Amino acid sequence: MKRLMIVSVVALAAISVAVTAAVAKSNKGAANADACVLLPDSKSSVRWETQDRRYLAQNFKRAGVSYSIVNAEGDAQRQKSQADTCLANGAKVLLLVNLDSGSGAAIEAAAKAKGAKSIDYDRLTLNGSSSYYVSFDNVQVGKLQGSGIIAALKAKNGGTIPKGTPLALLNGGPTDNNSTLFKNGYVSILQPYINSGTLKKVSDQGVPQWDNQKARTIFEQMLAKTGNKISIVAAANDGLANAVVTALKAKKLQPIPVSGQDATAQGVQNIISGWQSGTVYKPIQLEANAAANTAIAIIKGQKVKTNGSVNNGQRNVPSVLAKPIWVTKANYTRLFTDGFLKKSDVCIGTYKQYC
């Protein structure tokens, strides 16, 4: 028994040494991470983990730049702690997808104090101190959504829109500046129809943290308030669009024009089955490549190529803006040929019949 205890103690000591060595190696790797990517969550959209992470990693590896990619899972304080860890470990550049502009600005201020640069990735940080902003033209995203559902509504009604057609706006997270930009875009398309009385805006609400479950509750409340009389919905992304679709199906209502964004597999399934008018395809690879290349240029002391600027409330931030694409039932297969989605992820189960 005594001999067994001695062997066990020796074994535990060996394991302890191995773990300590592994941790030391991990910390050493983190200390060499010149670029630190701060992702927001994996709930509002699957893109952050399925698309952005892999493309950013590919670019950093190809350039021989050390990097760290972490996800705050919707917790602003956690994201701040992750940023502090990156900065303490010597990060030269932070690529930030903020959860809100207040916490984002605090992270960027901390980076600036440490002599590190910040890049607003996908979401602009209002009143922040980022050196660059890399995203899509988000007002154009909204315009594509607005134009898309108007076209679908006209097609459904033989080329015209009945007077007083009830419209609902299901907007993104109120603390996300992108939500404002998307809304500015689709409202710019819809407002003339509202002004003329062709469309009647019956509901207009944002969804806290882009939470899809809350979105369904909010839309169900919209339906209850209007006696189920909603005929067109500007939904800010595919997750919110699916909340609309799910609520309509639960009440055994017919499909109506609904917009989306992110070109998710679920969004495309709703499109090909006739429940969603379209989605905004933002080739994430283009955005991720641009963001990674911007960070790499900063780290290597090279010139950053920009193609515009966006005002963050205090100043114009040099920007790299990519063009979004409206995807419908007519051109959704482009997502497969581009390698953005796999056909096997979309054309499965009950949706196989639509492909």
14, part of any domain: no
235, part of any domain: yes
* Long-range contacts formed by 254-257: CB under 8 A, 24+ apart: 256/230, 256/231, 256/232, 257/148, 257/149, 257/150, 257/152, 257/153, 257/156, 257/231, 257/232, 257/233
51, part of any domain: yes
196, part of any domain: yes
Distance CA 103, CA 125 (A): 9
Asked if residues 202 and 230 have their Cβ atoms less than 8 Å apart, the reply is yes
89, part of any domain: yes
25, part of any domain: no
State whether 236 and 258 are in the same domain.
yes
Find the helix or strand (DSSP H, E) in which 186 lies: helix 177-195
Neighbours of 12 (CB within 10 A): 10
23, part of any domain: no
Residue with tokens 């404002």, as numbered in its chain? 180
State whether 50 and 38 are in the same domain.
yes
Distance CA 136, CA 79 (A): 23
Q: What pLDDT shows up at residue 25?
A: 31
Q: What pLDDT shows up at residue 24?
A: 31
State whether 72 and 98 are in the same domain.
yes
Closest CA to 212 of 256, 255, 260, 278: 260
State whether 47 and 170 are in the same domain.
no
State whether 244 and 287 are in the same domain.
no
Distance CA 184, CA 45 (A): 21
State whether 103 and 114 are in the same domain.
yes
State whether 150 and 239 are in the same domain.
yes
Residue with tokens 């992820």, as numbered in its chain? 345
Q: Provide the CA 309 distance to its chain's centre, in angstroms.
A: 20
Asked if residues 36 and 86 have their Cβ atoms less than 8 Å apart, the reply is yes
**Domain around 115:** 32-130+283-322
CATH number at residue 276: 3.40.50.2300
State whether 116 and 63 are in the same domain.
yes
State whether 195 and 248 are in the same domain.
yes
1, part of any domain: no
State whether 292 and 350 are in the same domain.
no
Instruction: Indicate whether this model's pTM tops 0.85.
Output: no
Q: What pLDDT shows up at residue 13?
A: 37
pLDDT per residue of the chain (355 residues) written in tens, 0 to 9: 333 333 333 333 333 333 333 333 333 334 479 999 999 999 888 899 999 999 999 999 999 999 999 999 999 999 999 999 999 999 999 999 999 999 999 999 999 999 999 999 999 999 999 999 999 999 999 999 999 999 999 999 999 999 999 999 999 999 999 999 999 999 999 999 999 999 999 999 999 999 999 999 999 999 999 999 999 999 999 999 999 999 999 999 999 999 999 999 999 999 999 999 999 999 999 999 999 999 999 999 999 999 999 999 999 999 999 999 999 999 999 999 999 999 999 999 999 999 9
State whether 117 and 62 are in the same domain.
yes
State whether 76 and 96 are in the same domain.
yes
Structural domains of the chain, count? 2
User: Model confidence over 302-321: pLDDT tens digits?
Assistant: 999 999 999 999 999 999 99
Closest CA to 203 of 188, 187, 217, 223: 223
Q: What pLDDT shows up at residue 44?
A: 83
